[in-house]
Amino acid sequence: MATSTTTTTALHPQFRPPSHPRAPRQLRPFLSSSSSSSSVRPRFSVRAAAASASAPAQREAVAGVPWGCEIESLESAASLERWLTASGLPEQRLALEKVDIGERGLVALKNVRNGEKLLFVPPTLVITADSVEMIIQSVSPVTTPLMEWSNREVGDVMKRYSVPAWPLLATYLISEASLEGSSRWSSYIDALPRQPYSLLYWTRTEIDAYLAASPIRERAISRISDVIGTYNDLRDRIFSKYPDLFPEKVYTMENFRWSFGILFSRLVRLESMDGKVALVPWADMLNHSPEVDAFLDYDKSSQGIVFTTDRSYQPGEQVFISYGKKSSGELLLSYGFVPKEGTNPNDSVEFLVSLNKSDECYKEKLQALKKHGLSESESFPLRVTGWPVELMAYAFLVVSPPEMIQCFEEMAVAASNKGSSKPALNYPELDEEALQFILDCCESSIKKYTKYLEGAKGSAEVSINTKQANRTLLLKQLARDLCISERRILYRSQYILRRRLRDMRAGDARAFALPVQFYRWTSVAVLCDCYFVPFARTRYRNMKSLNAIEKSRKLTEREVENIRTHSGSSILILSSNAS
């Protein structure tokens, strides 16, 4: 075998993994030179109605890989449990059975108390990108590498090229799967789904046709492109140089689509193991519920992967864990399903806003944005409960006139959320224009969704138990469900914006007092000696705290008269000598 100088790969660095649900953080390049920099999307395995029907429909379109099983197979899962028990998995209080939510799931064998630790999967049964010996040596040193390649030569080559965690794990899965029964992990691989639920299996034509109205379209295209780019880089830089170790018929694009689909849907980050990403057999049979707040992690006292229940379970009841706060679009992207409308409390929609290229200060505003890592077009998450303060800051920048050029950078800093403290977003003279700008963008997005949904009215709904569902009808229904959920959020934002703007234009001070539902910062307004004064909401009931004033502007006589005319119980007009 040829040898070469140790090389650090730079495989498709644009690929970004999903953010971890327990500690949202800035996304980092997916294929960086260090595996520790990878961020992860843990498995969110609830199979909603569309997901239940998606597996056979997807198998009709894609031949699939020669290993794995049907998602509902209990035989392969039972074989996995026997192997895990023989390999050191302790006696379980949970059993693998067919369930209503998730095809397969873990159910309680006995009464499970709230706060009880379950699973206890030992580190020797966990697949990571490298050994965790140094991480847990203070408890009990592990001398056996957790990622022992059955074909050591393949492992040596991948190590020599310093392949990052995600493509390394994807290659490892294929290498072990191709060995069938001779791999240590054959029982685990046999229990993995042959067709992971993922938008990786949608064609570009399907994505363009069915996700045209949703921002998730761009993310789906980007993810598929990045997976393909990663495979091409691995093939060109490594596989082609060692054809005996990486035969073309095994290391194919289709097999990498499968392995990345497995990683997107099952890989977890273990915070107590320095954030290492891992596949955890048996634990990945747990399904998700939005009503629980229990997560997988390494427990030093028991020296195993556990989760602590946050509710009690009766015998025969399915036990759930949480995989984080995911929007419906994120769930479709990685897991291939969309929750029913109104059932996802963490739903959001990416809201795109852009600078006006005809703005006479376009160059100056763009320069301020770029200085703080932003571009002329940015997306911000809208929720039913409101929008982030960064969106308002961006809107202030978009509508600000030339005479406010000295404020451009301050607005850009607030929009980027890079300030060391809470940004002071007090530009009352721009409030109306900024809110109108957001409303215009909101209504433009609503039109796109409505146009798509009106064209998709003929799509028949797919039953939760329809195993022979037509693929086209299924994908249309998934897209329709997503668009309905996202449009619902836009409608709510439209209502709030219209109401506030209407009251503002009527000169009603209640418009100022109406809280804009920012979920990190809210404000109300009062009138102090004919000045507009923004107060933090916590100060609202304490009008003596006039030192809370951050910025004010003199109201015109007409504005004051309108406010007095439309005064109500929520109108506060204070004297400057209030005590």
Domain ranges of the chain: 35-335, 349-505, 513-574
Q: Per-residue pLDDT tens for 243-280?
A: 999 999 999 999 999 999 999 989 888 888 888 889 99
Q: Per-residue pLDDT tens for 539-558?
A: 233 332 333 333 334 445 55
Which residues, including other chains, have CB under 8 Å from residue 391's CB and lie 6 or more apart? 351, 353, 380, 382, 415, 438
How many Cβ atoms sit within 10 Å of the Cβ of residue 166? 27
Which of residues 245 and 135 earns the better pLDDT score?
245
- Residues β-bridged to residue 533: 526
With H, G, I as helix, E, B as strand and everything else as coil, classify residue 372. coil
Which of residues 361 and 461 earns the better pLDDT score?
361
8 A C-beta contact, residue 222 and residue 18 = no
8 A C-beta contact, residue 75 and residue 196 = no
Most confident of the following: 45-49, 58-62, 185-189: 185-189
How many Cβ atoms sit within 10 Å of the Cβ of residue 26? 9
Does the model's pTM come out above 0.75? Answer: no
- Residues β-bridged to residue 534: 525
Q: What is the identity of the amino acid at 249?
A: K
Q: What pLDDT score does 489 carry?
A: 96
8 A C-beta contact, residue 468 and residue 513 = no
What's the CA gap between 68 and 197, in Å, rounded? 13
8 A C-beta contact, residue 454 and residue 369 = no
Instruction: State both tokens at 302.
Output: 């028991």
HEC string for 452-484: HHHHCCCCCCCCCCCCCCCHHHHHHHHHHHHHH
Give me the CATH code for the 349-505 domain, please: 3.90.1420.10
What's the CA gap between 555 and 566, in Å, rounded? 15
Q: Which fold is adopted by the domain 35-335?
A: set domain protein methyltransferase, domain 1 (3.90.1410)
Does the pLDDT at position 55 exceed 90? no
What is the separation, in whole angstroms, between the first and last Cα of the chain?
85
With H, G, I as helix, E, B as strand and everything else as coil, classify residue 381. strand
Range in 249-258, 371-380, 479-488, 544-553 the model is least confident about:
544-553
With H, G, I as helix, E, B as strand and everything else as coil, classify residue 279. strand
Query: What band does 287 get if pLDDT is binned at 50, 70 and 90?
Result: confident
- Helix axis angle for 216-237 and 165-178, nearest 10°, is 70
Range in 126-135, 247-256, 259-268, 511-520 the model is least confident about:
511-520
Smallest CA-to-CA distance from 518 within 378, 417, 447, 443 is with 417
Phi and psi at 288, nearest 5°, equal -100, 145
Q: Which residue has the tokens 């997107």?
A: 264
Q: Indicate left, alpha or beta for 102 from its phi (over 0: left) and psi (-120 to 50: alpha).
A: left
